[in-house]
A and B are shown apart, each in its own frame.
Chain A
Amino acid sequence: MIRWRIVALALTATLASLPACTPGESRVESGNRLGIFHIGNGSDPESLDPHVATGIPAGNVFSAIYEGLVVSNPYTLEPEPGVAERWEISADGLRYRFYLRQNARWSNGDPVTAEDFRWTYERYLTPAMGNEWAYMLFPVRGAKEFFSGDLTDFTQVGIRTLGEYSLEIELKNPTPYFLQLLAHSSSAVVHRPTIEAHGSPTARYSAWTRPQNIVTNGPFVPYEWKISRPLKVRKNPHYWDRERLRLNEIHFHPTENATTEERLFRAGQLHKTNTLPTDKVPVYRAANSPALRVQPYLGTYYYQVNTTRPGLSDARVRRALAMSIDRAAISRSILRGTSIPAFSMTPPGTLGYQPPAVFSFDPDKARQLLAEAGYPNGTGFPSFEILYNTSEGHRKVAVAIQQMWKRELNIDVTLTNQEWKVYLDSRDNMDYDIARAGWIGDYVDPLTFLDLGLSSNGNNNTGFADPHYDWLISEHIPAARTRPERLARFATAEAYLLEKMPFIPIYTYQSKYLLDPTIRGLPPNIRDHYNYRYITLGSAAD
């Protein structure tokens, strides 16, 4: 057996010869010392061009490197001054006049002017750009027409400069959430000379976003970005509010694997994680960890119903299905208390909106509804499929719901999983019976959830088309005079939508992550939005 020892020795020697990082000072320690914020950012941002990238990782970076006319306050999510130091809104809510601060600078020292914004919005809406966010500016007069090519002259669009430092935007209809749209990370302003120096202004494949070329106007500017390596940004030396910035640098680490990310956090390599594996949440809860953050998020997990399928075309059946899902059990045992049972499409607490309570977990009522629809005790109900994209989490929820529907309604359901793009294809072509889906709000307003039910909405691939609902959303609500009246009309619309139930809400998402407890200025909010200007590191010692 001595030779086995030789083998073991050889093995050890091999392992030891593999290069390993030297631990020493952890990244969090050196970060606190040098003012570098290390954040887990999920995956690599796909691009640094705000008119190209659509993902959340890119959005997180944009909040650091760009600054729009207005920005969101991380505590209240209300708009506050960005490049615009103040603004006026006309009494009819149609004209917004922005006054830009004259000390706002690009990272190369150029002043940020109203013309920069006008040019940026023109690029934003230029059809050839293929900007997937373009619809965010559709409340602007003429924007939709310009984008769809019916209008080719941008001067006809309601965006114009009134001098070097003021800009006027004219809307089609009063849009109470319009400033939020301007605060969105996609509404960042871009630097025309840099973009034009590197090719066609509308090209997606352009070198202007390379760290050696890019010019931005936010508090930070990128200086290093290699694929699958941390994206590093440092203080913009020309930023107007640079004196008050407490961070010198931010490093956005691509962390695709949540288990590894959690270990990186424990090893002191990250100040904040992007997420936390669901099964780790009870562990941190039991330990009463001050690092754990679990908070409601502006997103809903739901099942959408193909309303053109036999059986499922009856709203009573859809309501029966919704009423026989024990959401509390799903949240408790599958999602380990990391979700909130949802009985509405709009998450509760969306800037003052409380969704109506139309239904609850009520199996008796569900059986009664199913009987009324002609399927007493599930007899004769056509069997159908639940479609979800391949993922262990979605599968667990689907299995639970399958059992609940069998137990409460005596309905047979089968499960089908498809790879992501195949699943999207099936969903878009309505080649499904019931499909799992999720929706994250673009802005904090019930409309971003409730317009899903519009017959004209490209994301509504349920076959649900209801003229009354269309009228409620596109005419009745915009005509509301006051904010309480508007919210009341939303409640009416949502109650109507839940009666028809083309979407079966299941739970409200929660964001869950770990945050170094010594960090200040990163408050929880439902959009998971950060404003890096507020963040301070290592303040426990204070």
Chain B
Amino acid sequence: MLRFILWRLLQAIPVLLAVISITFFLVRFAPGGPFDADKAVVPEVRAALEAQYRLDQPLHRQYLAYMGDLLRGDLGPSFKYPGRSVNELIATGFPVTAELGLYAMGIALLIGGAAGLVAAQRPNTMQDYLPMSAAMLGICMPAFLLGPLLVLVFGIWLEWLPVSGWGQLPGDKILPSLTLGAAYAAYIARLARGGMLEVMSQDYIRTARAKGLPEYKVVLGHGLRTGFVPVVAFLGPAFAGILSGSFVIETVFQIHGLGRFYVQAAFNRDYTLILGCTVFLATLILTFNLLSDILAAWMNPRLRAGLNTGRN
């Protein structure tokens, strides 16, 4: 097991290196730079600013210097917010993103799980078709469409909920969490329905029914545990998806999470912040993948046996 983990960690290094290097050079090719502004910046000022951020050095020297800082865990100063470090901005933004992700996940599990359960009770009836069509719609509808739609209805027409923000007005966390959770609720509904349908045709369910258990006990007590295995397996990738998907949500709802810093950094050509967010998220996603692999290996003895040879 230890060898497996070490092996996966070793594999992560070239991936991370490639991500950083590609991002580092790619952002430099974008037209415009961090110091371009509406008002012309005189050459003397530009030179001074570039010197302060090492931009006056050849690109490969900048790259090596950046990698050196990175090894020490220093993501550098932000261009857009002088006086603040990228580490600090990430530390501010990530808790918000994580909170948003958590609520979204909760909503996805509750709505998706309930819908899947309901649908599986009477397959191929309206009770099945309705939630499953809604789930299909949820999967197809991108967040950048669903978000503004919800804002239009609940924020602008009905004026029930705030149109944007996070923790500023009562209830402003509802729409973003709902929007982000919707797509995952849809997936979970489909997985839950599939899982439940399979389980409910099993012999032990028939036995449970035969001994006269009420239907709700059969479903919740016996069916659910096995029927939701696919849902649980989906949670790992779903969390990575929610983290990266929250960019869109944070932009639509103007939430100051990591995603919004990331998007704004791209607009501002805040090179260090773009890189910092990329490194951080890449590391996070690699970690999640590693964890879910470990979990899967631990749960599945056949896979575990294969791992001891050092391959998977």
Cβ-defined contact, A49 with B82, below 8 A: yes
For A128, the chain B residues whose CB sits under 8 A away are 48, 51-52
Give the distance in Å from the alpha carbon of A135 to the alpha carbon of B156 in the complex. 45
Give the distance in Å from the alpha carbon of A52 to the alpha carbon of B80 in the complex. 10
Cβ-defined contact, B267 with A421, below 8 A: yes
For A164, the chain B residues whose CB sits under 8 A away are none
Cβ-defined contact, B254 with A256, below 8 A: yes
Cβ-defined contact, A132 with B52, below 8 A: no
Say yes or no: is A75 at the interface (Cβ < 8 Å to chain B). Answer: no
Cβ-defined contact, A264 with B168, below 8 A: yes
Cβ-defined contact, A21 with B83, below 8 A: no
Residues 6-48 of B contacting A (Cβ, < 8 Å): 30-33, 36-42, 44-48
Cβ-defined contact, B267 with A131, below 8 A: no
Cβ-defined contact, A458 with B168, below 8 A: no
Cβ-defined contact, B82 with A46, below 8 A: yes
Tell me the count of chain B residues lying within 8 A, CB to CB, of chain A. Answer: 61
Q: B148 to chain A: closest CB distance in Å? A: 12
Q: Which of A149, A205, A438, A458 contacts B77 (CB 8 A)?
A: A205
Cβ-defined contact, B169 with A227, below 8 A: no
Cβ-defined contact, A205 with B83, below 8 A: yes
Cβ-defined contact, B173 with A260, below 8 A: no
Say yes or no: is B118 at the interface (Cβ < 8 Å to chain A). Answer: yes
Q: Do A204 and B254 contact each other (CB < 8 Å), given the known contacts A7-B114, A260-B169?
A: no
Say yes or no: is B245 at the interface (Cβ < 8 Å to chain A). Answer: no
Give the distance in Å from the alpha carbon of A132 to the alpha carbon of B36 in the complex. 11
Give the distance in Å from the alpha carbon of A10 to the alpha carbon of B118 in the complex. 13
Say yes or no: is A259 at the interface (Cβ < 8 Å to chain B). Answer: yes
Cβ-defined contact, B127 with A263, below 8 A: no
Q: A202 to chain B: closest CB distance in Å? A: 8
Cβ-defined contact, B33 with A421, below 8 A: yes
Q: A536 to chain B: closest CB distance in Å? A: 26
For A148, the chain B residues whose CB sits under 8 A away are 44
Q: Do A205 and B40 contact each other (CB < 8 Å), given the known contacts A14-B106, A130-B52, A227-B92?
A: no
Cβ-defined contact, A425 with B254, below 8 A: no
Q: Do A257 and B163 contact each other (CB < 8 Å), given the known contacts A52-B83, A205-B52, A227-B84?
A: yes
Cβ-defined contact, B173 with A422, below 8 A: no
Q: How large is the interface on A (under 10, 10 to 19, 20 to 34, 35 or more residues)?
A: 35 or more
Give the distance in Å from the alpha carbon of A428 to the alpha carbon of B38 in the complex. 10
Residues 1-55 of A contacting B (Cβ, < 8 Å): 3-4, 6-7, 10-11, 13-15, 17-23, 44, 46-49, 52-54
Cβ-defined contact, B81 with A257, below 8 A: no
Q: A430 to chain B: closest CB distance in Å? A: 13
Say yes or no: is B199 at the interface (Cβ < 8 Å to chain A). Answer: no
Give the distance in Å from the alpha carbon of A52 to the alpha carbon of B30 in the complex. 24
Give the distance in Å from the alpha carbon of A360 to the alpha carbon of B46 in the complex. 40
Give the distance in Å from the alpha carbon of A226 to the alpha carbon of B37 in the complex. 25
User: Which of A6, A14, A269: most chain B Cβ within 10 A?
Assistant: A14
Q: Do A420 and B267 contact each other (CB < 8 Å), given the known contacts A228-B92, A264-B169?
A: yes
For B190, the chain A residues whose CB sits under 8 A away are none
Cβ-defined contact, A263 with B169, below 8 A: yes
For B127, the chain A residues whose CB sits under 8 A away are 3
Cβ-defined contact, B45 with A132, below 8 A: yes
Say yes or no: is B188 at the interface (Cβ < 8 Å to chain A). Answer: no
A-B residue pairs in contact (CB < 8 Å), sample of 15: A14-B106, A15-B174, A18-B174, A18-B177, A47-B82, A54-B39, A130-B49, A132-B41, A204-B77, A205-B52, A260-B165, A260-B254, A421-B30, A428-B40, A437-B38
Interface residues of B (CB under 8 A from A): 30-33, 36-42, 44-49, 51-52, 77, 80-85, 88-89, 92, 103, 106-107, 110-111, 114-115, 118, 121, 127, 131, 155-156, 162-165, 167-174, 177-178, 254, 256, 267-269
List of 5 A-B pairs having minimum Cβ-Cβ separation, nearest first:
A421-B32, A130-B48, A458-B40, A228-B256, A205-B77
Beyond A47-B83, A132-B41, 10 additional pairs, beta carbon < 8 A:
A3-B118, A46-B82, A128-B48, A130-B47, A210-B83, A227-B88, A260-B163, A269-B168, A421-B269, A425-B36
